[in-house]
Structure 1
Amino acid sequence: MTDRYLITGYTDGDVDTNTSLVPSLESLAAERYSRRKTLMGGLGATGMAVFGTTMLSACGGSDDVDQSPVVTPGSVAATSAGRIVTLTTTTAADVLPGTWTQTSGPSVTLTTVDRTTATFIAPAVAAATDLVFTYNAPTQRGGTATASSTVRVNPAVLGFAAVPKNLNDVVTVPAGYTVTVMTRLGDPLASGVSAYANNGTDGDFDKRIGDHGDALHFFGLSSAGARDDNSNTRGLMVQNHENLNVQYLHPNGPTNVTSGARPQAEALKEMMAHGVSVAEYVDAGGRKWSYVPTSSFNRRITPATVMQFSGPAAGNAQLRTVYSPDGTRGRGTINNCANGFTPWATNLTAEENWAGYFRRDAGDIAPATSKRTAREITSLARFGVTSTSGSYRWSFVATTDTLYTRWNATATADSALQDFRNEPNQFGWVVEIDPYDPASTPRKRTALGRFGHEGAFVRAVSGKKVGVYMGDDARNEYLYKFVSNATYASADAGATNRLAMGDKYFDAGTLYVAKFNADGTGQWLPLVFGQVPARPASGSTPAYTFVDQADILINTRLAADALGATPMDRPEWTEGNPNTGEIYLTLTNTNAASRPLNRTDAANPRHYNDPKGSTAPVPDPATPPQPTNQFGNPNGHIIRIREAGDDTASLTFRWDIYLFGADSAQADANVNISGLTADNDFSSPDGLFFSRTSNAAGGVKPVLWIQTDDGAFTDRTNNQMLAALPGSVGDGGAKTITNRDSTGATATQATIAGAAASSATLRRFLVGPSQCEITGIDSTPDGRTLFVGIQHPGEDGTPSAPSSHWPDSQGNPAVGATVRPRSAVVAITKDDGGVIAL
């Protein structure tokens, strides 16, 4: 998702191949105290003396920083959704310990601490709502002392102080939160695998956590080891492994990265560090998390794992290779970026920047000397399979083993069944995995199309078609939607044959691509054979005529071009608001070459400069280094859509731009359109996650988490994660922007902007360690543990001089100077046990 340690020109999406009234708390308190005798069950003054009568003020001070009330019998208090409330009392000598019970209001779970104290988490509410609790205690005289307390719960608010931007080599979170490092690069996932030495000598990466952890999801397990979607104490963490900090994988970095034969052991290690991992996580009690290195559920899915093709393109001639003569099987998955998950508890992993891994010799690229057809050459060029070496030069291992030779996609023989010319076509898919069955074969779902898949958000509503929303992460690429033929039945969520449910909903349906109109409307254009014209010729590239539906699904970018879809500024993660059904899409950034002044549009409206300064020492103060210009849309934006009728199968939608990334130091209102401040400015939005609906943060107005993959102002802050309480499409209005390019020329662009941000609706929650990307996020169902991925800390360092020492640096400022960084997952918990962010 960002540029990585480059060996031979690896890119990560930075390419462009597309040419509300309630009574006051005070009155409530007055009423409560005027009725004390009634509340005390006729015990009179004696009864009142038994219990405390303190009235607590409404919680939430400045900045709505969390305050969790302690409530005593006969008192009233206020709090907000997601916060811990403690019900407690002290009793006189003649009163025995009693019991707290709830007598009115939305039902909550009371957790008994002792005979006088119980706690609960305030539930999600749409408006101020009263919950009444009664404490009953027997007396030594044979009577019962009784008193009730009222807790007014207000709608959710962000309950933490914003974390300042910083360049520290730790994960920084708000006061009152704790960070626990979980699985790290190289951690063992099987018996007999040694602890990770972290010096480049380790092997067996098919049994270890891979590198560059990306999207993740927590799948619950019961105490008996069965699927349990409600489990908060045990589960399977499924995480993608996108790419490599290859310099740290070997003792002195990789060898022969520009010429000569690659060492086979190095290439194998690099290959196996890609893919997907499944690791069991457990809570020992009180949210004390660890992972189980020898769990029978642990699994690594790598570029060597056998895959099954499923859907309309399975068996197509374009998928046939020496390894799979019938085009129905493949080996492995690569460059796994964002994800998706299904109601039937499978994981969707997306193959993103797969194209650069392949080698094509110069003669294979040139039409005059290539054994390929013009159609093949056009297809490969459109996907960017044009390297003469491949990112890691795996095909240069001196062996005939096809595990390595398949990365050479040059057409060397007379038939596709004799070489690996079609091997690139086996990648670029969404892969469905059953995390509960380590022996299952993952399935590549061809009906969802082939491109640089960032992720695949699944929206499933009972009685409607299943929708899958997907971004293609490269400059000037598109937003796609797949709609199932089958109508979703909620009973299918409990199916035990989970991949069969994927067959039902993902193998038959219609793939669409989005067109955004200037008036805030949009259409879904069907990518259906017979409805897609030939892609016109462009320069030296000939026209491309589609021959069948499989051809459209294998060459999805070409088909989207032909329909005139809207090119976007690197469309990355997709995520849906569980309350409104709106779909959010991050558009990470673009540059001047891909989005010049005369090629902005309403959905991608900005062209400006965000000069990047220098934090390096200044040798001569008289001549300080000049900032680096960054013209284009270097800070990115987040767009959202709402389907007509809130129906996944709709062919039209409305849209607006929810947030514009910007440096708050930018005074230009044409850039900082969302009114960001130092507490919430961000750049290059990437990962997205709405809190689960099973807890208060995902209730009436769910919290949206935004993760960044920034390079634009990383001279002043490491990458970050923000918490937001978004509105909905149409909460802002029309906006006209004046853009400016490097020559000083200006042009105006009309767009539709969402409501401006404020400290109440957007705050920075986390800042990561040096040179990392924040990517991957999920929580336990109760929202009391948040899991976050930290990818490639210290990516610009060397084996002898690492530029980060995280995660060893977390809580250890004296970490050794040569300790190598490792990508890792962290568990974040709230010290008082409440719901994260509230």
Structure 2
Amino acid sequence: MFGYDDGDIDTNRSRNTHLSEIVSERYSRRQTLLGGLGAMATAAFGASLLAGCSDDENGVGQAPVVVTAGENVATTAGKRVTLTPQASDNAATTSFTQVSGPTVTTTTSGKAISFVAPAVATATPLVFEFAATLNGRTGRAQSTVTVSPATLDFVAVTKNKNDVVTVPANYAVTVLYRLGDPLAAGVPAYANDGQDTNFAQRAGDHHDGMSYFGLAATGTAPATSNTRGLLVMNHENITESYLHLNGPTNLSGPAARPTAEVVKEIEAHGVSVVEVSRAASGAWSYNQASALNRRITPNTPMRFNGPVRGNAALVTVASADGTTGRGTINNCANGQMPWNTYLTCEENWAGYFRRDADAALRSAKQNRSLARYGIGEGRAGNYRWTSAAPADANDTRFARWNATADVALAAGGAQDFRNEPNHFGWVVEIDPYDPASTPRKRTALGRMNHEGCWIGRTVAGVKPAFYMGDDAQNEYIYKFVSNTAWTAADAGAADRLAIGDKYLDAGTLYVAKFNADGTGQWLPLVFGQGPLTAANADFAFVDQADVLLNTRIAADLLGATPMDRPEWTAVNPANGEMYCTLTNNSSRRPTGTRAVDAANPRAYTDPKTDGRAAGTGNVNGHVVRLRENGDTTEATAFAWDVYAFGAGEDLEATNINLSSLTAENDFSSPDGLWFGAATNPSGQVNPLLWLQTDDGAYTDITNNQMLAALPGRVGDGAARSVTSTLAGATATVTTRIGAAPGTRLKRFLVGPRECEITGITSTPDGESLFVNIQHPGEGGGPANITSSWPATQSGQQGTSRPRSATIVITKVDGNGVVGL
């Protein structure tokens, strides 16, 4: 470091700061680059810089402007870097300029700038120049910030059974939006004693799949905002024991359920749209009185779109033409569309229906269809809603859940609700920015136990694909390819549901067949092709609507590969590869009808430490991934492997713990799945994958958890033989296993007791992560409270009833993207 001096004689009689004072000041202010997750990388600029001498020939009467700089900086992608320069106080102007490297967006505070280190594939230098000017003369100094690829820069959270959400050091958890929180002005605070009402204007139960939509300053339009937005989330189900004063009344019958209890239970399902914001202090909160807040419940009017719209199979006493319906239910995973809409997916909807003995009143085809979707005769329906008696005879909110064909009414179904089950099992599109809009059920995407629906990479001129799982044992993985090629301008369209019409109402639905050699095919579910014809003696289809109404039967006939409960799908935003969680499968066996195969290669015994019987089958689940041929969403073939196999660290490595999981990353029953947003480093180059669990098998060891991963690519591992032995049967298959995750998979969070971790999204910058905690304490009730979360998160103890809730996770020091 050099300053300016004209020799041993002091000729400068001004009061300007001497170099020795500048040097002293620089070292007193200087911040050291700290290592580790919580570090703030700080560079104090300096080098031999001098500008502007005197304003007379002899250089007397005006001090130079002195610019100093310090050490260069090394950091990793996603970390926040602050560059703090020094210039003598007589500098008239100062400025920063990025000279080279990937362009970053900087924030200025005084002379200093800060930015988040960009995603890179290899160590990459970013050069910045600081300039200070006096009397037209400028001094400059450069410093280099070397950015290395992203790492999981946190210490893995230890497995535990505590009643709080545990996250790594340097992270904070804020409880944001809880079961029962009021969602409109004038709605009283939630008492949480089982006596609250009006859940049509309160947060529902069992928070699940979720997306963040930024809000513009006007509060009405989409924007890339990190401080104000809409959270849209599913409310999958209820923990009925805590919703009522003393638990549910007459749940097991035979007496009628109280009407008020049934109304509450129905309204606690569905979807929330809630405005959230971040204050200057960094604290997040939700706006109870926002005009954009909305609850969508099983009673909300719906519109059918696509090939099944107007079909006779949708006709009921409440939908004479089969074009409209009411509500959505058992909404699990989700999808976020590039044109700023939200997809909610109906999963275990069939269980809500009552069906008495009526097979003789139905056709053989109807009975086959109902059975394939799990609606057999002799069902009372979840929560016995049909037993409630409405005050108004025209009120069909309860009767609609009775799918029994009435012998006294017309055979077509126009006078009863025999066809009501056909109103469910769809993907539903919602415009979060328009509370008055009617959600649309997108029938072209098929009818099943939809777990989620995630869009593949969008490329101009290429038809987009939408990936889905059917969450039940031995069901299938699907994709829908639109008939319309992607146009980038549609992302900013004002009529968002009209854009959904464009891409989601016409196209080809495919089901996946996995081959033993690591390849696979997408089999088209198209009427008139293969066995999907009117001439099929096994099941005669009459048109494309019939194929979509009976998606499962069509997939059976095509020979799709039965999978171990396909749940959430996620698409790597950098390379387009699709991941799908296969949660578990208790019916998987070495041989027989549900025999192991290449894509589902394990059947084993999983012992328990808490006195429960050992689990059998594919107890811990796995995550499969595929790469489309040609890396295009329009492909009809793909390559696949298994990214990771769930297992306890102590299970044998040859045939069960195939991914060599350790105490820092072992998991069971993968469920929620989400890649970081492409708007920040967590979704770029080598994106960050979040993995959530919904597990009972490993809860003798730990509560459910969330892990962070930096996965590789399909084919980065090798083929491997796996031998399954169970109940005296043995079989060996060859599977494809990705490279062992090692330190690129770590446990980031452990939830409270008896919860499921499900639902995740973030702000565009990735610095605020929203996560849902579902059904804590689900095994208890008012007289036996087994969790008091979220009250326990703030240190409270005791007897508070548990509540599903959304949390926000941020870095305590503000140092960049969560997880990196």
- Residue range with higher mean Cα deviation, 93-102 or 517-526: 93-102
Distance 1:636 1:593, change over 3 A: closer
1:797 aligned partner? 780
**Residue 692 of structure 2 aligns to a residue in which SS?**
strand
- Within 1, Cα distance between the matches of 2:100 and 2:554? 58
User: Cα distance, 1:66 vs. partner?
Assistant: 4.5
Q: Supply the distance in 2 between the matched residues of 1:287 and 1:536 (Cα, whole angstroms).
A: 61
Deviation, structure 1 residue 98: 4.3
SS of residue paired to 2:401:
coil
Q: 1:677 to 1:226 in 2, by over 3 A?
A: same
The alpha carbon displacement at 1:69 in A equals 1.7
User: Alpha-carbon deviation of 1:50?
Assistant: 7.5
1:231 offset after TM fit, Å? 0.7
AA at the equivalent of 2:764: P
Q: Are 1:58 and 1:79, in contact at CA under 8 Å, matched by a contact in 2?
A: no
In the alignment, structure 1 residue 376 sits paired with structure 2 residue 350:
no
Query: 1:131-185: CA deviations, max 9, x gaps?
Result: 222333457x996554322111111111111111111111111100111111100
CA distance in 2, matches of 1:356, 1:242: 13
2:768 corresponds to 1:773: no
Match of residue 205 from structure 1: 199
1:746 aligns with 2:720: no
User: The residue matched to 1:202 in structure 2 has which SS?
Assistant: coil
Contact 2:589–2:726 (Cα < 8 Å) also in 1: no
Report what 1:491 is aligned to.
Answer: 489
Q: Is 2:660 aligned against 1:675?
A: yes
Between 94-103 and 181-190, the greater mean CA deviation after superposition:
94-103
Deviations 1:276-312 (A, max 9, x none): 0100001112431100001000000000000000000
Q: Distance in 2 between matches of 1:825 and 1:373?
A: 46
Question: What's 2:650 paired with?
Answer: 665
For residues 749-805 of structure 1, the C-alpha deviation after alignment (integer angstroms, 9 at most, x for no partner) is 11000001111x101111111110000000000011000011000000111221111
Q: What is residue 453 of structure 1 aligned with on the other side?
A: 450
Report SS of the residue matched to 1:492.
helix
The unaligned stretches of length 5 or more in structure 2 are 5-16, 47-70
Alignment check: 8 A CA contact 2:195 2:245 kept: yes
Cross-structure match for 1:67: 39
Task: Supply the distance in 1 between the matched residues of 2:364 and 2:344 (Cα, whole angstroms).
Answer: 32
Secondary structure of 2:557's match?
A: helix
| 1:674 partner letter | S
Asked whether the equivalents of residues 56 and 77 of structure 1 are also in contact (C-alpha less than 8 Å), the reply is: no
1:822 aligned residue: 803
Match of 1:809, SS state, is helix
The Cα shift of 1:49 comes to: 3.5
- Corresponding residue for residue 741 of structure 2: 757
Q: Are the structure 2 counterparts of residues 537 and 161 from structure 1 closer, same or farther at C-alpha, using a change threshold of 3 Å?
A: farther
Task: Report the counterpart of residue 573 of structure 1 in structure 2.
Answer: 568
Tell me the equivalent position of 2:416.
419
Aligned-partner Cα distance in 2 for 1:695–1:746: 48
Q: Which of residues 726, 732, 749 in structure 1 aligns to 2:711?
A: 726
Structure 1 residue matching 2:233: 3-state secondary structure: strand
Q: Which runs of 5+ in 1 are unaligned?
A: 1-32, 38-42, 615-624
Give the distance between the partners of 1:534 and 1:667, measured in 2 at CA: 44
Match of 1:157 in 2: 151
Percent identity reads 58
Tell me which amino acid in the other structure corresponds to 2:692. Q
Residue 689 of structure 2 contacts residue 709 of structure 2 at CA under 8 Å; is this kept in 1? yes
1:177 aligns with 2:162: no
Cα 1:68–1:595, aligned 2, differ >3 Å: closer, same or farther? farther
Question: SS state of the match for residue 792, structure 2?
Answer: coil
Q: Indicate if the aligned counterparts of 2:588 and 2:596 stay in contact, CA closer than 8 A.
A: no
Task: Identify which range, 308-317 or 597-606, moves more after superposition.
Answer: 597-606
Change (3 A) 1:310 1:142: closer
Q: Which residue of structure 2 lines up, in the alignment, with residue 252 of structure 1?
A: 246
Residues 323-375 of structure 1, C-alpha deviations (whole Å, 9 max, x = no match)? 001111101000001000111101000000000000011x22xx4xx211111
Q: Deviations over 1:697-729 (max 9, x none)?
A: 111111000001111110111111011000000
Deviates more, 1:506-515 or 1:387-396: 387-396
Aligned partner of 2:697 in structure 1 is 712
The corresponding residue for 1:599 is: 595
Q: Deviations over 1:420-446 (max 9, x none)?
A: 000000000000000000000000000
Q: Conserved in 2, the CA contact under 8 Å of 1:639 and 1:658? A: yes
Number of matched pairs: 772
The match for 1:280 is 275
1:686 is matched with 671
Change (3 A) 1:600 1:86: same
2:232 is the counterpart of 1:238: yes
Give the Å deviation of 1:103: 3.0
Contact 1:596 1:607 in 2 (8 A): no
Supply the AA of the counterpart residue of 1:171.
V
Could you say what secondary structure the match of 1:486 adopts? coil
Please give the alpha-carbon distance, in whole angstroms, between the structure 1 residues aligned to 2:30 and 2:735: 50
5 Å matches for 1:92-111? 98-111=94-107
Structure with larger Rg? 2
Q: Indicate if the aligned counterparts of 2:164 and 2:792 stay in contact, CA closer than 8 A.
A: yes
After superposition, the C-alpha distances for 1:480-537 in whole angstroms (9 at most, x for unaligned) are 1111111110111111111111111111111110000000000011101111416999
Mapped pair 1:303 → 2:286:
no
Correspondence for 2:81? 85
Quick check: 1:606–1:737 contact (8 Å CA) kept in 2? yes
Per-residue CA distance 1:446-474 (angstroms, 9 max, x = gap): 00000000000012322110211110000
Write the deviation string for residues 236-267 of structure 1: whole angstroms up to 9, x where unpaired.
Answer: 10000000001010000100111111111110
1:110 Cα offset (Å): 2.4
Residue 836 of structure 1: aligned partner: 818
* CA distance in structure 1 between the partners assigned to 2:370 and 2:257 by the alignment: 25
What is the identity, as a one-letter code, of the residue corresponding to 1:375? K
CA-CA distance at 1:95 after TM superposition = 6.4
Q: How does 1:354-393 map to 2 (within 5 A)?
A: 354-361=349-356, 363-364=357-358, 367=359, 370-386=360-376, 388-393=379-384
Counterparts in 2 of 1:656 and 1:59: CA distance versus 1, 3 Å? farther
In the TM superposition, residue 571 of structure 1 has moved relative to its aligned partner by 0.2
Q: Is residue 345 of structure 2 the alignment partner of residue 350 of structure 1? A: yes
The one-letter amino acid of 1:441's match is T
1:621 match: none
**In structure 2, the residue corresponding to 1:561 is in which secondary structure?**
helix
The TM-score normalised by the length of structure 1 is 0.89
Match of 2:440 in 1: 443
2:104 matches 1:123? no
Contact conserved, 1:535 with 1:561, CA < 8 A, in 2? no
Q: Corresponding residue for 1:430? A: 427
Can you list the C-alpha shifts for 1:357-410, whole angstroms capped at 9, x where unaligned?
A: 00011x22xx4xx21111111100000012520011111112342110011100
Which whole-Å CA distance do the structure 1 matches of 2:761 and 2:185 have between them? 27
1:49 pairs with one of 15, 19, 23: 23
Q: Do the aligned residues in 2 keep the contact of 1:87 with 1:118 (CA within 8 Å)?
A: yes
Residue 247 of structure 1: SS of its match in structure 2? helix
Q: 1:394 aligns with which of 367, 381, 385?
A: 385
Report the alpha carbon displacement of residue 102 of structure 1 after superposing the two structures with TM.
2.9
CA contact (8 A) 1:596 1:632 kept: no
The TM-score normalised by the length of structure 2 is: 0.91
Number of the residue aligned with 1:20: none
- Note closer, same or farther for the CA distance 1:654–1:36 as it changes in structure 2 (3 Å cut): farther
Counterpart for residue 66 of structure 2: none
Describe the SS at the equivalent of 1:481.
strand
2:771: which partner in 1? 788
